Chains A and B, each alone.
Chain A
Amino acid sequence: MKPTKDLSERTLGWLLLSPVAVLLAIVVLYPVGQLIYSSFFTIRLTEPWLGTPFVGLENYARAWDDERFWGALQNTVLFIVVTVPGSLAVGLGLALLANMPFKRKWPVRLALLLPWALPLVFAGLIFRWFFDYKLGFFNDILMKIGIAPQAWLTDPVLAKIAICFTIIWKSSSFMALVLLAGLQAIPKSLYEAAEVDGASKWLQFKEITIPMLMPAIFVALIFRTITAIQTFDIPYAMTGGGPGDSTETLAMYIHKNTLDFLDFGYGSALATIMFVVSIIATSGYLRYTQRSAGRD
């Protein structure tokens, strides 16, 4: 009897998984194939008389010589390098603050949930205004403490700082929630034992909190990196990529090439490059979860 039962269970299992498979095939797998395929062709909707000739690696060669692509890549890398550690640091700070023994937990919890639930593009809009030259909150504070107001969004360097600040504000609260759950999972007895041994708070933090928190930190970092590669909404809402192209990210440049310039072949090549980078980041996550699954 047993083998037949196993078989039917297995069949049922595949049956239950089939909707997921169908959805992934339509939304991810087929488009990925189409993406890579299109990247070898010239597909310009603005010049239909060109047809769609096969051009091999020409689109990739064009990216190699495209300064605007390198600029966008550089900005994306900059945003990753600054905001991933930045939001980890701020998120860890928030998590440690939120882990204090409050009588009422909801105001703090809600304060961490609000930035997470706020759409990225809305965060961009609101902070665009915080950084406004005349009506903004930051310049108002600067003037109150006697510093000249800054042209936050029209200076290439300041605009990058403003965008990084906003991304860190927006993403650190999710970081904090994940880390807070990690903090709360650390057994209190470890700290009590350290206290008995006379370990200082800093030593406890360094020797107990950080090592115990490593899994949560790792997962949070991977998720943050994967989303940072795709940075679009916040710079789009704050500067539109300006001044000039100084805050344009790879995602914004891909969007511009396809939806504004209608150059699907070139856009596909750029998207393929981004796709490969993301796979590398995702496989890091996958290897990590596989390892910890084996540990259970």
Chain B
Amino acid sequence: MNFAALKTKTVVWFAALIVVVNGFFPALWILFTSLKTENELLQFPITYIPRDPTLVNYYQAFTEKPLHLFLLNSVIVAGSSTIITVIVSALAAYALTRLRMPRRNLIMGLLMAVAMFPLISLIVPLFQVMRELGLLNTYLSLILPYTVLSLPVCTLVMASFFQDISPDLEAAAMVDGCTRVQALFKIVLPLAAPGVFTAAILAFVNAWDEFLLALTFLSRETMRTLSVGITLYQGEFAFPWPLISAALIVAIVPVCILIAIFQERVVGGLTAGGVKG
């Protein structure tokens, strides 16, 4: 190997190392801490690799707070809002890409703009709306806003996939006696499955991660979702870090597995808005 090739190789390795350390370090840090004992944590100077790995923190994380309920609540809220988002945005994307709608771009732009309004400035009136409807401390109080939160990006992702499907296929199906709606469900959606899937992952992660609305609308401890539930482990002054780390690992592992398996799709979906524009 000549010098130039070696130099290139070193640079590439170094680049990879920086990006990987930057991305993985915090996750590794909490993984290691979750395996430490309280005693080791309080040692000074701090240790990095746990000397005496233990799983006791995971056990305690589930017994000290209803972590299994937080997990269940997150799954229910994120799961239902994902399903609704995907259906609603599939219908909208179909109308905007496959039907001859007047002023398509304007409608699309308005959708984006309305849905990009900061939910944070809407917490005050939304709180009032939810209270009037008696929806506080129900899953629906989060499912509805989360659906809107993901609508724009999901519509955009699915629209870009629908555009690539040949209209001839639908036309053929309609000649064979399918209605348009049947054609949508039997021809277009199955062909756009990767897009539907990408949209679903994005919607799921958005809902799984949201904090402010979950903090505001679900105040009963047994209704808390993970993002809020994990902040409950801290006392007024005490921070049981090993316990919090164990709970954090439980909370992020499902999403990590999801994005690790489908990383190419996720990246494609995330950048659909950016690159197309």
* Cβ B244 vs Cβ A125 within 8 A: yes
Specify which of A112, A116, A182 is in contact with B275 (CB 8 Å cutoff): A182
Question: Can you name 7 A-B residue pairings with CB atoms under 8 Å?
Answer: A10-B99, A28-B117, A32-B122, A98-B19, A100-B16, A251-B212, A286-B109
Interface residues of B in 1-56 (CB under 8 A from A): 11-12, 15-16, 18-20, 22-24, 26-27, 29-30, 41-42, 44-46
Complex-state Cα separation, A29 to B129, whole angstroms: 12
Specify which of A108, A125, A127, A288 is in contact with B16 (CB 8 Å cutoff): A108
Specify which of A13, A24, A108, A111 is in contact with B114 (CB 8 Å cutoff): A24
Of all chain A residues, which has the CB nearest B87? Answer: A19
Complex-state Cα separation, A103 to B125, whole angstroms: 52
Interface residues of A in 83-141 (CB under 8 A from B): 94, 97-98, 100-102, 106-123, 125-127, 129-130, 134-137, 140
Q: Number of contact residues on A: which range applies?
A: 35 or more
Is B263 interfacial (CB-CB < 8 Å)? Answer: yes
Secondary structure at chain A's binding surface: helix, strand, loop or mixed?
helix
Cβ distance A148 to chain B, nearest Cβ, rounded Å: 14
Bitwise interface map of A from 27 to 53 toward B, beta carbon under 8 Å scored 1, else 0: 111111011001000000000000000
Complex-state Cα separation, A274 to B255, whole angstroms: 31
Given A30-B125, A117-B256, 14 other A-B contacts at CB below 8 A? A13-B95, A17-B91, A17-B107, A23-B151, A28-B114, A117-B205, A129-B239, A137-B46, A178-B271, A181-B267, A182-B274, A255-B212, A275-B118, A282-B113
Is B169 interfacial (CB-CB < 8 Å)? Answer: no
Secondary structure at chain B's binding surface: helix, strand, loop or mixed?
helix
Of all chain B residues, which has the CB nearest A34? Answer: B125
B123 contact set on A, CB distance < 8 A:
254-255, 258-259, 271
Interface residues of B in 81-103 (CB under 8 A from A): 87-89, 91-92, 94-96, 99-102
The listed residue with most A CB atoms (<10 A of its CB), out of B88, B95, B230, is B95
Binding site for B on A (CB under 8 A): 6, 9-10, 12-14, 16-17, 19-20, 23-24, 26-32, 34-35, 38, 94, 97-98, 100-102, 106-123, 125-127, 129-130, 134-137, 140, 143, 169, 173-174, 177-178, 180-182, 185, 215-216, 218-220, 223, 226, 229-230, 232-233, 236-237, 251, 254-255, 258-259, 264, 267-268, 271-272, 274-275, 278-279, 282-283, 285-286, 288-290, 292-294
